[in-house]
Structure 1
Amino acid sequence: MTLQLHTFPALTDNYGFLLHDPASEETACIDTPDGAECLRQAEAKGWRITQVWNTHWHADHTQGNLAVKSATGCTVIAPAEEAHRIEGVDRTVGPGNTLLLGEWQAEVFAAGGHTLGHIAYHLPAATIAFVGDCLFALGCGRMFEGTPDQFWASLQRIAALPQDTTICGAHEYSAGNARFALHADPDNLALQDYAREITAKRAAGEPTVPFRLERELATNPFLRADQPALQARWGGGDAVATFAALRAAKDAY
């Protein structure tokens, strides 16, 4: 039996994720943007949330922890470096740790940059990764707390996952990201195709999340800061400098 993923919109532009193992009947809720909505979605699927996996401390990812925990008695798991800023934490994890959902193993890796202690969860056997606000379709998170070196290293860890990995980024930012990506890398034909597809999906009210890593590697300028063409265009002498230039330009775009 395979894992079942349920993605649902929450708040203004967040996504919530429920990952269900039919064999054990365990369900992980990855981040809790809206506790009541997380519970409604789980009830509609006939699933009981047994774990919460937080990616970072921001309220739109953790503010539903207590509501979900109170209703279900679930275990709340959070990044060790940020647990003091998160309510309801029962267990902390960090890079190199593993979690189990039934018999499915999730590997924790560092995804800092957006926040210092941000983590991501990768389930190799299910070819899926939950990356919070580190990576979005055609974009990445704002660099609120980290440094360009740290953020680029985090993106490289994601880039090193198998290319068929399904990436669950936590926001519907794809349309805006596509506009900047076309500005950043205007000659990329694969990007042009992807941007048209995103425009069509959003016009039809369809989500653009989750997405495949393979496509991001070919189109997402923040993952391609090591490419000579982008470095030449953005004046970066290396990948970190180019990433920093792209992130600053996106902030002002």
Structure 2
Amino acid sequence: MTIQVHQFPCLSDNYGYLVHDSQSGETVCIDTPDAEAYLREAAAKGWRITQIWNTHWHPDHAGGNEAIKAQTGALVVAPAVDAPRIAAVDRTVAGGDLVALDGVDAQVIDVGGHTMGHVAYWLPTAGIAFVGDALFALGCGRMFEGEPGQFWASLSRLKALPEDTTIYCAHEYTASNARFAVHADPDNAALAAYAAEVETRRGAGEPTVPTVLKREIATNPFLRADDPAMQARWGGGDAVQTFAALRAAKDSFR
């Protein structure tokens, strides 16, 4: 495989991602929370930035578009629904579209809910997906703009990807997510083990991202809203109601 992913921390708790195709020399920025950090990291790797793929409009995801484009001439790809609030867009995409890093295709997945137009980028041949703020390790994004049914449908699309897919999310939120997850699903032994591992890794200053979809399906309460035990515990008659109850509880959890 010619695809390399370079992950680095930026801002207070974001992760930046540069995806590089060693065959063509192309490099894509997944979101642009901090233009200086992206340009610095690309220069250190000797990589030429050619594209930007935005997941959604929030400034900690698209705020560096103009500065990076000015320096590199990168093509900016952004979700169509969110594009009016994103700078320097050259191409808009929606669920079902394809983007490419040279000859390596990425499928655009509609994951609206955190924002209405949020998208994820899945590179099937590389077995990786960049999900922005739609899905986190042991959590999901706040539902700022969407509705529970929309957001559950979005998570279901991600849940349907191959189980061995490596999930790159945009923030290091896993420790706080783990505390809520254990509260939400206290009898889940796999979750308890995962939460203990997260505590150890964060204590050592290590990242907990990326994660693997199979593990999230077994432990992430938001992906388990269709599980009868979770529905019984959270009073939801179906997955959408259970997801809504979980998301509301997480919003006020301390």
Q: TM range, normalised to the smaller chain?
A: over 0.9
SS at match of 2:82: helix
Asked if 1:118 corresponds to 2:114, the answer is: no
- 1:6-155 aligned at under 5 Å gives the runs 6-155=6-155
Deviation at 1:138, TM superposition (A): 0.2
> Which residue of structure 2 lines up, in the alignment, with residue 170 of structure 1?
170
> Which residue of structure 2 lines up, in the alignment, with residue 219 of structure 1?
219
> Which residue of structure 2 lines up, in the alignment, with residue 2 of structure 1?
2
Deviations 1:45-99 (A, max 9, x none): 1101100000000000000001110111110100011111000111111111101
Q: How many Å separate the matches in 1 of 2:44 and 2:251?
A: 38
Q: How many Å separate the matches in 1 of 2:172 and 2:60?
A: 13
Deviations 1:154-201 (A, max 9, x none): 000000000000001100000000000000000000000000111011
Deviations 1:197-248 (A, max 9, x none): 1101100000111110010000000000010111011000000000000000
Q: How many Å separate the matches in 1 of 2:208 and 2:68?
A: 26
- Give runs of ≥4 in structure 1 deviating > 4 Å: none
> Which residue of structure 2 lines up, in the alignment, with residue 251 of structure 1?
251
Deviations 1:91-130 (A, max 9, x none): 1111111011011000001000000010110010000001
> Which residue of structure 1 lines up, in the alignment, with residue 195 of structure 2?
195
SS at match of 2:114: coil
Q: Which amino acid aligns with 1:171?
A: H
Q: Which amino acid aligns with 1:73?
A: G
Q: TM-score, normalised by structure 1?
A: 0.99
Q: Which amino acid aligns with 2:239?
A: A
Deviation at 1:2, TM superposition (A): 2.3
Structure 2: gaps (5+ residues): none
Q: Which amino acid aligns with 1:250?
A: K
Q: Which amino acid aligns with 1:152?
A: W
Structure 1: gaps (5+ residues): none
Q: Which amino acid aligns with 1:174?
A: T
Aligned-pair Cα RMSD in Å: 0.6
Q: TM-score, normalised by structure 2?
A: 0.99
What is the number of equivalent residue pairs in this alignment? Answer: 253
Q: Which amino acid aligns with 1:93?
A: V
